[in-house]
Structure 1
Amino acid sequence: MTTFRFLWKLVSYRKVLYMLNALAWSLIYLAPIVPGLLTKQFFDELSGHASYTLGLGSLLTLLLMAALARVSFVLFGFVTDVQFRFRIGALLRRNLLRHVLKEPGARAIPVSPGEAISSFRDDVDQVEESVSWSVDVLGFLVFAAVSCVLLMRIDAQMTLWVFLPLILVVSAAQLSTALLQKYRAASREATSQVTGAISEMFSTVQSIQVAGAEDRMIRRFRKLSDERRQAMLKDTLLTTSLDSIFSNAVNLGTGLILLLAAESMRTGEFTVGDFALFVYYLSFVTQFIQNFGKFITYFKVSTVAKNRLMSLLQGADPQLLTEHHPLYLRGKLPDPQEDSHTAGGGVEAGRLERLDLDGLTYMHPETGRGIHGVNLSLERGSFTVVTGRVGSGKTTLVRTLLGLLPKQEGDIRWNGRPIADPGTHFIPPHSAYTPQIPRLYSDTLRNNILLGLNADEERMERAIRSAVLEDDVERLPDGLGTVIGPRGVKLSGGQAQRSAAARMFVREAELLVFDDLSSALDVDTESKLWDRLAELRAGTTCLVVSHRKAALSRADRIIVMNQGRIEAEGTLEELLVTSEELRSIWYGSEDRDSDSRK
C-alpha cells in the first residue's frame, strides 16, 4: 500500500469532517485577501490613485469585520482539525490493537512491548500530523491561486519571483527524501529501545536488586540513551537544515522582489497601494512556500511511520490498518457481545459435548521443542490432568489448543466441527483459561475478576466461593473494592492464583483450562479448590496441567507427556502400575507436598 493510498483511506473515514476542516482552513488562508485589497485602497487614496473612494471609518470597519471573520474561521478550523485528527488516530490504534489481540499470544507483537508502545504513540501521531498538514496545504494553494491572479495583474515578472523559491523548496525536499527517511527510522528505533529498556527495568526491578545488577543496568540504559541522542540529533539536524533552506530560499525571493518593486516605483509603474498589496500578500505567500516544504517533509516521514505500523501486522493484509469501524466516543459504551450459546443452549448453540485433538503439532522455532502429533479427546464433564516433567510440552499443548500458539499441523474439533481459528473460538463463554502466572492489574479486586464482564452479585459470589477466596475477601480492607496494586503486589501468590481462578469461574465457560493453578497453594486450600470444582463437574469440562497429587488423585484420566508426545494415558491406578514416568512424578511430588505443608 502506497503512502498516498494509506493516507487517503484515513481521510475517507470521515470525508465530511475532512471537507469541513479543509473548507475552514481554506477560508482562514483566504481571509487575508480582503484586508490586502483594503490596504491597497487606503494607500491609493493617500496618494491620489484610488479608482473609488472609501472613508477612513468605512475602511477600519471593514478591516475589523475581516479580522473577526478570520478569528471565527480559525476557531472553527481548530475544532474540526482536532475532531478529525483524534478520530483517525483512534481508528489506527483501534485497528492495530484489535489485530494484536487476535494474534496468538506467543506472536502478538514482533518487537518488544516498548517498541510497540512507541509505534502506537509516535508513529500514529506522525500520520495524524501528515493528514492535518494536507489541509493547510490545500488552503494555502487556494490562497496562492487567488493571490497569484491579483499579483500577476500588478506585475507578472515580480509575481514569478515570488514563486521561484517554491521550486527550490520542492527540489531540496526531494533530494533529501532517502536520508530523511533513514534518519527518522533510526531515531524511532532508538526511542523504542529506550522505551523497552525502561519497561524491562520496571518489570524486573526485584531481580535486578537481588542480582546486584543496578550499575550494569544503568550503564546499558546510558548507552541506549546516548545512541538515541545521536540518532535524534541527526534527525533534528536534517529537519532543521531543511527548514533553514526553506526560510533562506524565501528570504532570497523577498530580497529580489523588494529590488524589483523599488525599480518599478521609480519608473512610475507601481502605485503605493500596489506596493502595499504586494508586500502584504508576500508574507502569506512566503508562509505558503515554507508550509508546502514542511508538508513534503511530513509526507515523506509518514512513510516511515506507515512501514513501522505495518510491521506490527506481521504480514497480514495492510488494509486492516485503515478498515472503517465505529468509534464510541460519546454516550454509553455498548455492552460486550456474548456468544449465543449460554448454559443450556444445546449442542447447536455451542455447548461442549466432545473436544477432539488430532495430530496437534507446534514446535518452537527458537529451540525446536514443543509438541508433535498429539491426539486427545475430552468428554463433557470430564476432569483430565496433563502431567509430565519440566519441558515435556504440557503448557505448549494447552496454549496451542487455545490458539495462544499457532498450530502447525493437526485438527481441533468442537462437537465434531473443525475449529479453523482456535484463538477466536476458545474464549468465554466457550472456554476460560488461567495461565501459570496470572496477569493482575492495579485496580480493585472486583474489576480484576470481572474484566468488564457484566455479572450479578450471585454469580460473583459463586465464582469467589469456587476459587476458595471468600475468607480472603473478608480480610481485605475494602473487600472486593480493595485496590491490589500493580501486578497484584498486595496479594500473596496463592491469593493471586485464586483471584485468577475466580476470574475464570465467573465466566461460566464450557471448558476450563488450568495451567499449574495450584502451584502457590497450600495443601488444604488446594484440596478445597478441587473439591469445589467437582461441584461444577456436571456441566463443565476441565483440562488441568499439574503434577500435584491433589489434582492427579481426582482425575478421570491422566495424560503423561514426555518430550512433546503423549507417553501414556489412563486412570491413576492404571498408570501407577504401567507408567514409570508417572510413578516418578507421583512419588517425587510427595516431597514437594511435604515442603508445602511446612
Structure 2
Amino acid sequence: MTTFQFLVRLITFRPLLYTANALAWTIIYLIPIVPGLITQQFFDSLTGEDTLKIGTWGIIALLLAAALARVVMIYVGCITDVQFRFRVAMILRRNLLGHVLKQPGARAIPVSPGEAISYFRDDVDQTEEAVSWSVDVFGLTCFAVVSSYILLKIDVQMTLLVFVPLVLVVTIAQLATSRLQKYRAASRESTARVTGAISEMFSNVQAIQVAGAEDRVIDRFRRFNDDRRKTMLKDKLLGEALDAVFTNSVNLGIGLILLLAGTKMRGGSFTVGDFSLFVYYLTFVTQVISNVGKFMTYFKQMSVALERMLELLQGASARILTMKGTLLLRKGSRAAAESSNSAPYREPLQSLEVSGLTYRFPDTGRGIEDVRLRLAGGSFTVVTGAIGSGKTTLVRTLLGLLPKEEGTITWNGKPVEDPGTFFTPVNSAYSAQIPRLYSDTLRNNILLGHRDDEGALERAVHDSVMEYDIAHLQQGLETVVGPRGVKLSGGQMQRAAAARMLVREAELYVFDDVSSALDVETESKLWERLFESRGSATCLVVSHRRAALAHADHIIVMKDGRIETEGTVDQLLAKSETFQELWYGDERTKDGSPREA
C-alpha cells in the first residue's frame, strides 16, 4: 500500500464526516473572497468608481456579516475536524492493538514495549495530522481557484506574479523530501530507544540496585537522550526552515506587485480598489502557500509513520490498519454492544486430543516436536520434566500463545483451527509461569474487567488460598500491588494469578508451574480446594512438585522437547529414570537407590 492509498483509505473511513469537515473548511477559506470584493468596492467608492452604491455603513454591515459567518463556520469546522481526527486516531490504534492481541504471545510485538508505545502515540498522531491537513489543502485550493479567476479578470500579469511563489514552494518541498524522511525516521527511532530504556529501567529496578549498576544505566540513558536531542533538532530545524520558506516566499510577489501597481494606476487601468483587493488576497495567498507546504511535509512524514506501523503488523496486510469497525464512543454503547452479542457457546469438554504438535524457536531451533497426548474430560493431568524439557513450550503452543508449525488439536473430536482464539474463557483459562500484575488494586488485578457475579471473586480467592494473605494486607483487596506486583511476595503473586484464572468459569484450566514459590502446606491446600470446588473441570498442570504429581490422574514426562513416557505415579516410578529423579530429587543415596522413609 502506497502512502497515497493509505491516505485515501483513511479519508473514506467515515466519508460523510470527512465530507462535512471538508465542506465546512472550504466555506471557511472561501468566505474571505467576499470581504475582499467588499473592500474593493469601499476604496472605489472613495473615487466614485464603485458599483454597489450602498454607502459606507452598508459596506461595514456586509463586512461584519462576513466576519460573523466565518466565526460561526470556524466553530462548526472545529467540531467536525476534532470528530474526524479523533476517529482516525482511534481506528488506527484499535486496529494495531487488535492485531497485536491476536498474535501468538512470543510474536506479539517485534520491538520493546517502550518503543511500541511511540508507534501507537507518535506515528498515529503524525498520520492523523496529515489526514486533517488534507481538508485544508482542498479548501485552500478552492480559494486559490476562485481568487485566481477574480484577479485574472482584473490583471493577468499581476495575478501570475502572485502565484509564482507557490510553484517555487512546491519545487523546494519536493527537493527536501528524502532528507525530511531521513530526519523523521531517525528522530522516531531515537525516541523509541529512550522510551524503551525507561521501560527497561522501571522493570528492572531491583536488578540494577543489586548489581550496583545505577551509574552505567544512567550513562546509557544519557547517551540515548543526547542522540534523541540531536536527531529531533535536525528534524525540527528542517521542518521550521521549510515553514519559513513557505511563509516568506510570497514576499517576492508582494514586492513585485507594489512595484507594478503604481505604474498601472497612473495608466488608469488599475484602480485603488483593485490594488486593495490584490493586497487583501495576498494575505490569504500566503496562507495557501504555507499550508500546502505544511501538508506536503506532513504527507512525507506520514510515509515514515506508515512504514513504522507496518513493522508492528509483521508482514500482515497494510489494510488491517484501515479496517472499518464500530467505535464505542458514546456512554452506554459498550453495554449495548455486549448485550447484543450472545455469550460464547460453552461445549463441555469430553476429550482434548493433540497430534504431531511441533514448534521450534527461530533463534535456537529448540522447542517441542511431534507431541501426541489426550486429556479426558474431568481429568487432572500433570506435565513434568527437567528444566528446558519443553513443558511450558508445550502448553503455550497448545493454547496458541506460540504459533504451531505442525500438528492438529481437536476438542471433542472437532478440529480447533485457531487455538489462540478458541482457548479463552469460557473454553479455557490459563495461569502463566511468570505472573503479570499491574500497578492497580489486587481486586482489579484478579478481575481484569470480569464481573464479580454471584461471589465469583470470593470463591476464586478461597480456591487460590489467598484469604489469609488478604486479611493481613493493609487495605485487603483494595491494596495497590505496585508495578509488576512488587508489593507482593512470589507466592502471593502466583496465587493472585491463579485467582485471576479461577474467577473465570472454564472447561479447561491450565496451570503453568503456578505453585513453584509456595510452601508444601499452601500448595497442598491449593490442589485440595481446587478438587473440592471444581471437581468436574479438566486441569492441565505443569509442575515437578510432589503435591501436584500425587493428585494427578495422568502424568506426562517431557525430555528434549518430546514426550518420553507417561502414566500414573506408580507406573512411572517403576519404569522411568527421569521421573524417579524428579520424584526423589536429592533424597537418593550415593548408590542411586531411594532412601527409606
TM category, shorter: over 0.9
SS at match of 2:227: helix
Q: Distance in 1 between matches of 2:301 and 2:345?
A: 48
Q: 1:390 is matched by which residue type in structure 2?
A: I
SS at match of 1:374: strand
Per-residue deviation, 1:14: 1.3
Question: Which residue number in structure 1 is paired with residue 15 of structure 2?
Answer: 15
Select between 28-37 and 535-544 the one with higher mean Cα deviation. 535-544
Question: Which residue number in structure 2 is paired with residue 579 of structure 1?
Answer: 576
Question: Which residue number in structure 2 is paired with residue 516 of structure 1?
Answer: 513
In structure 2, which of residues 553, 556, 561 is the aligned counterpart of residue 556 of structure 1? 553
Q: Distance in 2 between matches of 1:237 and 1:35?
A: 36
Q: Percent identity?
A: 65
Question: Which residue number in structure 1 is paired with residue 376 of structure 2?
Answer: 379
C-alpha change, 1:175 and 1:285, in structure 2 (3 Å) is: same
Q: Distance in 2 between matches of 1:377 and 1:405?
A: 20
Question: Which residue number in structure 1 is paired with residue 28 of structure 2?
Answer: 28
Per-residue deviation, 1:262: 2.3
SS at match of 1:143: helix
Q: Distance in 1 between matches of 2:14 and 2:448?
A: 32
Question: Which residue number in structure 2 is paired with residue 347 of structure 1?
Answer: none
Q: Distance in 1 between matches of 2:310 and 2:406?
A: 27
Q: 2:457 is matched by which residue type in structure 1?
A: M
Per-residue deviation, 1:459: 2.2
Query: Residues 464-502 of structure 1: CA distance to partner in whole angstroms, max 9, x if unpaired?
Result: 211112222333333333332222223222222111111
Query: Is 1:79–2:79 an aligned residue pair?
Result: yes
Query: Is 1:277–2:274 an aligned residue pair?
Result: no
Q: Is the 8 A contact 1:443 1:485 kept in 2?
A: yes
Q: Distance in 2 between matches of 1:64 and 1:244?
A: 32
Question: Which residue number in structure 2 is paired with residue 189 of structure 1?
Answer: 189
TM-score, normalised by the number of residues in structure 1? 0.95
Q: Is the 8 A contact 1:388 1:581 kept in 2?
A: yes
Query: Is 1:432–2:429 an aligned residue pair?
Result: yes
Select between 276-285 and 326-335 the one with higher mean Cα deviation. 326-335
Q: 1:185 is matched by which residue type in structure 2?
A: A
Query: Residues 32-81 of structure 1: CA distance to partner in whole angstroms, max 9, x if unpaired?
Result: 11111111111111122223422222222221111111111111111111
SS at match of 1:464: helix
Question: Which residue number in structure 1 is paired with residue 445 of structure 2?
Answer: 448
Question: Which residue number in structure 1 is paired with residue 115 of structure 2?
Answer: 115
Q: 2:225 is matched by which residue type in structure 1?
A: S
Per-residue deviation, 1:6: 1.2
Q: Distance in 1 between matches of 2:358 and 2:263?
A: 85
In structure 1, which of residues 565, 568, 573 is the aligned counterpart of residue 562 of structure 2? 565
In structure 2, which of residues 349, 359, 362 is the aligned counterpart of residue 365 of structure 1? 362
Query: Is 1:324–2:328 an aligned residue pair?
Result: no
Question: Which residue number in structure 1 is paired with residue 301 of structure 2?
Answer: 301
Q: Distance in 1 between matches of 2:305 and 2:358?
A: 36
Query: Is 1:292–2:296 an aligned residue pair?
Result: no
Question: Which residue number in structure 1 is paired with residue 255 of structure 2?
Answer: 255
Q: Is the 8 A contact 2:446 2:497 kept in 1?
A: yes
Q: 1:547 is matched by which residue type in structure 2?
A: H
SS at match of 1:110: coil
SS at match of 2:249: helix
Question: Which residue number in structure 2 is paired with residue 45 of structure 1?
Answer: 45
C-alpha change, 1:429 and 1:358, in structure 2 (3 Å) is: same
Q: Distance in 2 between matches of 1:321 and 1:411?
A: 31
Q: Is the 8 A contact 1:548 1:589 kept in 2?
A: no
Q: Is the 8 A contact 1:381 1:537 kept in 2?
A: no
SS at match of 2:358: strand
Per-residue deviation, 1:119: 0.7
Q: 1:443 is matched by which residue type in structure 2?
A: D
Question: Which residue number in structure 2 is paired with residue 472 of structure 1?
Answer: 469
Q: Distance in 2 between matches of 1:560 and 1:338?
A: 40
Q: Superposed, which structure 2 residues align to 1:234-245 within 5 Å?
A: 234-245=234-245
Question: Which residue number in structure 2 is paired with residue 492 of structure 1?
Answer: 489
Query: Is 1:400–2:394 an aligned residue pair?
Result: no
Q: Is the 8 A contact 1:339 1:429 kept in 2?
A: no
Q: Distance in 2 between matches of 1:407 and 1:164?
A: 62
Per-residue deviation, 1:224: 1.3
Q: Distance in 1 between matches of 2:291 and 2:315?
A: 35
Q: Distance in 1 between matches of 2:480 and 2:216?
A: 34
Q: Distance in 2 between matches of 1:519 and 1:304?
A: 46
Query: Residues 112-151 of structure 1: CA distance to partner in whole angstroms, max 9, x if unpaired?
Result: 1112110100110011101100010111111111111111
Select between 252-261 and 128-137 the one with higher mean Cα deviation. 252-261
Q: 1:152 is matched by which residue type in structure 2?
A: L
Query: Residues 422-474 of structure 1: CA distance to partner in whole angstroms, max 9, x if unpaired?
Result: 11111111111101111111222222111111231422222221111222233
Q: Distance in 2 between matches of 1:537 and 1:117?
A: 40
Per-residue deviation, 1:589: 6.8
Q: Is the 8 A contact 1:338 1:429 kept in 2?
A: no
Question: Which residue number in structure 2 is paired with residue 596 of structure 1?
Answer: none
C-alpha change, 1:158 and 1:465, in structure 2 (3 Å) is: same
Q: 1:413 is matched by which residue type in structure 2?
A: T
Q: Is the 8 A contact 2:431 2:514 kept in 1?
A: yes
TM-score, normalised by the number of residues in structure 2? 0.95
Q: Distance in 1 between matches of 2:587 and 2:174?
A: 73
Q: Distance in 1 between matches of 2:445 and 2:454?
A: 15
Q: 1:510 is matched by which residue type in structure 2?
A: E
Q: Is the 8 A contact 1:515 1:544 kept in 2?
A: yes
Select between 7-16 and 514-523 the one with higher mean Cα deviation. 7-16
Select between 449-458 and 506-515 the one with higher mean Cα deviation. 449-458
Per-residue deviation, 1:340: 3.4
Per-residue deviation, 1:260: 1.7
Q: Distance in 1 between matches of 2:375 and 2:42?
A: 91
Q: Is the 8 A contact 1:9 1:322 kept in 2?
A: yes
Per-residue deviation, 1:536: 4.3
Per-residue deviation, 1:164: 0.9
C-alpha change, 1:425 and 1:339, in structure 2 (3 Å) is: farther
Q: Is the 8 A contact 2:42 2:59 kept in 1?
A: yes
Query: Residues 164-210 of structure 1: CA distance to partner in whole angstroms, max 9, x if unpaired?
Result: 11111111111222221122111111111111011101111111111
Question: Which residue number in structure 2 is paired with residue 528 of structure 1?
Answer: 525
Query: Residues 257-287 of structure 1: CA distance to partner in whole angstroms, max 9, x if unpaired?
Result: 2212222123222111110111001110121
Query: Residues 486-522 of structure 1: CA distance to partner in whole angstroms, max 9, x if unpaired?
Result: 2222322222211111111111111111111011111
SS at match of 2:26: helix
Query: Is 1:506–2:503 an aligned residue pair?
Result: yes
Q: Is the 8 A contact 2:392 2:542 kept in 1?
A: yes
Q: 1:99 is matched by which residue type in structure 2?
A: H
Q: Is the 8 A contact 2:435 2:493 kept in 1?
A: yes
Q: 1:465 is matched by which residue type in structure 2?
A: H
Number of residues paired by the alignment?
Answer: 584
Q: Distance in 2 between matches of 1:477 and 1:197?
A: 33
Query: Residues 11-50 of structure 1: CA distance to partner in whole angstroms, max 9, x if unpaired?
Result: 2121111111111111111111111111111111112222
In structure 1, which of residues 538, 541, 564 is the aligned counterpart of residue 538 of structure 2? 541
Listed as ranges, the gaps of 5+ residues in structure 2 are 589-597
C-alpha change, 1:339 and 1:414, in structure 2 (3 Å) is: farther
Per-residue deviation, 1:256: 1.5
